Amino acid sequence: MKTTNQISESPGRETRSNRAYRVAPTDNTTFHSRMFGTHGAVAASHHLAVNAGVDVLKAGGNAIDAAVAATFVEGLVDPQMNSIGGECPLLIRLAGSDKVIALNGNMAAPGRATPEEFRRRGLDHVPDEDILAAGVPATFSAMIMALDRYGTLSLADAVAPALALASKGFPLSNGLVNQHKFGLRALEEKFRGWSGSHELYLPGGQVPEVGTLMRNAALARMYDHLSNAERTAGGDRSAKLQAAHDAFYLGDVATSIVKYSKERDGLLERSDFERFRTHVEEPARADFGDATIYKCGFWSQGPAMLQALSILRAFDLAPMGHNSADYLHLLIEAIKLAFADREQYYGDPAQAVVPAEVLLSAEYGKCRAELIDLRLANDELRPGDAWKNAALLPPDERFTPQPWGAGTVHVDAIDAAGNMASFTPSGAWLASAPVMPALGFPLSTRMMTFYLAPANHPNVVAPYKRPRTTLTPSLAFRKGKPWMTFGTMGGDQQEQWSLQFILNRVAFGMTLQEAIEAPKISSDHFPGFFAPHSHYPQHVRIEERVGKKVMDELRRRGHLVDHAPDWSEGFLSAAQIDLDTGVLEAGCDPRGAKSEVFPNMAYVW
C-alpha cells in the first residue's frame, strides 16, 4: 500500500508538515481577528458590560442607550477602575448630524473647598485618597442627561443589567482580583482599615478566588430606589428621568453621602448636590491628515493629543517608518511639549482663563515643533508662551507640575443608524476611598489633582470648581464623514496611547485592530499618579517588541529607556462605521487580559 509523505523539505528551509494550517510567520498578524457587522458594535473594558450594551441594541435601543447600560455595568464589575461615585466625560454623534457633542461628566468641588480650608487642617496639598479629596459624584448625572437628550430608554431599562448583576452576583475577573496595585489582593491590607470595603470585597476576611460570585446588595438597592423614583413620577419620559436624577442629587442618596462625609469631617454639604449640573459643551477639535479628531475641553487632558498632532503636522512621519528610532524620538519630544502645556494651562474654563485658541492653533503648533532637536532628547519641562503665541514660556513663569490621577475604563458603541458614543468612566475606584456601606461604592478622590497655590494657577482649588482630569474619550471623522470612537484607561498614559493609535491609523495606514495591538511607548517626563508624585525627566517605557536596536539608538539620543513587558502599554478599544457601506467594525486590546487588568471585549454583528 502506497502512503503519502506528510513531511516536506525545501533546500535551505526548515522541515514542515503538510498538515500545518499555516507555514508563514505570524509576527505581523493580530491576536484578535478583525470583527465586522452591520447592526451594531460595542467595545468595553469588561465582557459583561459589552453584553449589556449589545442586549440594549438588539432590543431596539440606540448607541447612546447601549453606552449608558455598559457604563452602569462597568461601575459594578470593574470597581478597581471606576464606580458610580466617579466621573464620566463623553462624546456623542447623532445619526444624520455632522456635529459632535461633549458632556462634561466631571465632578465638582464642594463649596467649602478652598486653599484656606485645607491649610486650616494642617495640609499643604489636597490628600490623594479618602474623604477630603471627595467631590460631588458626576457619573449618574451624565448618564441621565445622555439618556434624556440623546437616548431612548428609561433609566430602569438602562440600569437593569447592572441591577441584576449586583443583586444576583457576577463572577470576579482576574483583573479585579489580581491587578497590579489596584486589585483586591493588592488592597487586602488597606481594606482591613476600611470596614465598608472589607465587608463587601473580602468576604470571610479573605481575598476571593477568580470566578467567585460577588453580590453588591447595597448598590442594587440604590439602583432599585432610583428606578422606582422614575416609575412613580408623573409627566413625560424627560420628567421621569429628572425625577431619578433628583432622587440621587436632592434625595436619599445625597443625604446618605453627606451624612457619611460629615461623620468623617469631610467637606460635602447638601447644597453642593443641589447645585450640581452636567454641562453640554462644544468639543475641542483638530485636523490631522484627512481626519478630524474631537476631544473634551481643557478641563480634561484631551486637547494634549490635539496639541501633539499639531506639532507633528510639521513632519513627514510615514517615511520614517513605524516605531523607528527617528519616529519614536520625534513622538516622545512632541509628547513632552504638549504635556508641558497641559501642566501649565489646563483647568476648568468656567473658573480659569485658558488660552485655548492659541494652544490649538496651527501657528503655535509649528513654532513649538521648531524646538525639537531631531538628534537629541531635551530634559526640561518646556511649556510654550500661549499668552504671546511664542514657542517658550520664560522659566520664572512656569508652574511646578502635580499628578492627575489613575484608574479608568472605556466604552464605545455605534449602531446601524450611525449614532456614536465614546464614554470614559473613571474615579471612585477601590484604592482611592472606602466603600460607603449604605450605598455600595466609594467616593471619587479627583480633587487630589487640585493645587493650593499659587493663587493664579489654573487648577487651584476653589468652590464648585471642576478638577482637571486625565479622562479623555475620542471621536473622529475622516474625509468629512463620521468614522470612529476610541479610548483607553491609563492616567497620564491615556492620551499618549490614544495619540499613537490615531497616528497608527492615519499616518501609517493600519487597520483598527493593528493600530490597537501595535507596540507602544509612554513617557514619564511629567508627574506620576500617587505619592511621591515624582516625574522622571527623559524616562520612557517601551514595549520590548519595538526591538533592542531602536531602544539603543534612543538611549544614544539621551532618552532613559525602560523595557516594558510586551502587552503592558495600551488597553485601547475602538469602534468604527463606514457610512457608505453600512459596515461596522470594533476591536479591543489583548493587553487587558495579558496584563491582568480587565476582561475587555468587542462585539459586532
Confidence (pLDDT) at 525: 81
Residue percentage of the chain with pLDDT more than 70: 94
* pLDDT higher than 90, residue 529: no
Confidence (pLDDT) at 587: 97
Q: How buried is 158 (Cβ within 10 angstroms: 0-12 exposed, 13-18 middle, 19+ buried)?
A: buried
If you average pLDDT over residues 489-512, what whole number do you get? 94
Q: Where are the alpha helices (DSSP H) in 264-323?
A: 270-274, 302-312
Confidence (pLDDT) at 527: 57
Q: Which residues contact 456 (CB under 8 A, 6 or more apart)?
A: none
Tell me the pLDDT tens digit for each residue of 149-184: 999 999 999 999 999 999 999 999 999 999 999 999
Higher pLDDT, 218 or 400: 218
Residue percentage of the chain with pLDDT more than 90: 87
Confidence (pLDDT) at 534: 58
Q: 170-171 and 90-93 as β-strands: parallel, antiparallel, unpaired?
A: unpaired
Question: What is d(CA 176, CA 593) in angstroms, rounded to the nearest whole number?
Answer: 11
First to last CA, the chain: 50
Confidence (pLDDT) at 304: 96
Q: Under a CB-based contact definition with an 8 Å cutoff, are residues 505 and 317 in contact? A: no
Tell me the pLDDT tens digit for each residue of 92-102: 999 999 999 99
C-alpha cell at 479: 474625509
The residue assigned the cell 473658573 is 351
Kindly indicate the confidence band of residue 28, based on its pLDDT and cuts at 50, 70 and 90: confident
Tell me the pLDDT tens digit for each residue of 374-387: 999 999 999 999 99
Long-range contacts of 34-37 (CB under 8 A, 24+ apart): 34/511, 34/512, 34/513, 34/585, 34/587, 35/585, 35/586, 35/587, 35/602, 35/603, 35/604, 36/583, 36/584, 36/585, 36/604, 37/583, 37/584, 37/604, 37/605
Confidence (pLDDT) at 530: 39
3-class secondary-structure state, position 269: coil
Work out the mean pLDDT of the chain and round it to a whole number: 93
Q: 560-564 and 539-543 as β-strands: parallel, antiparallel, unpaired?
A: parallel
* pLDDT higher than 80, residue 22: yes
Higher pLDDT, 399 or 86: 86
* pLDDT higher than 90, residue 30: yes
Confidence (pLDDT) at 3: 45
Kindly indicate the confidence band of residue 517, based on its pLDDT and cuts at 50, 70 and 90: very high
Tell me the pLDDT tens digit for each residue of 108-138: 999 999 999 999 999 999 998 999 999 999 9
Query: C-alpha angle 528/533/539, rounded to 5°?
Result: 45
What domains lie within the chain, and their CATH numbers? Answer: 37-279+427-441 (no CATH), 282-404+471-595 (1.10.246.130)
Smallest CA-to-CA distance from 511 within 580, 569, 586 is with 586
Higher pLDDT, 244 or 494: 244
The residue assigned the cell 507596540 is 519
* pLDDT higher than 60, residue 396: yes
Confidence (pLDDT) at 533: 45
Confidence (pLDDT) at 203: 94
Question: What is d(CA 597, CA 582) in angstroms, rounded to the nearest whole number?
Answer: 33
Q: Under a CB-based contact definition with an 8 Å cutoff, are residues 286 and 292 in contact? A: yes
* pLDDT higher than 60, residue 107: yes
C-alpha cell at 466: 471642576
C-alpha cell at 357: 485658541
Confidence (pLDDT) at 406: 59
| Low-confidence winner among 169-173, 282-286, 417-421, 528-532 (lowest mean pLDDT) | 528-532
Confidence (pLDDT) at 491: 83
| DSSP 8-state class, residue 208 | P
3-class secondary-structure state, position 442: coil
How would you write 377-415 as a 3-class SS string?
A: CCCCCCCCECCCCECCCCHHHCCCCCCCCCCECCEEEEE
* pLDDT higher than 90, residue 9: no
Confidence (pLDDT) at 531: 32
Tell me the pLDDT tens digit for each residue of 301-312: 999 999 999 999
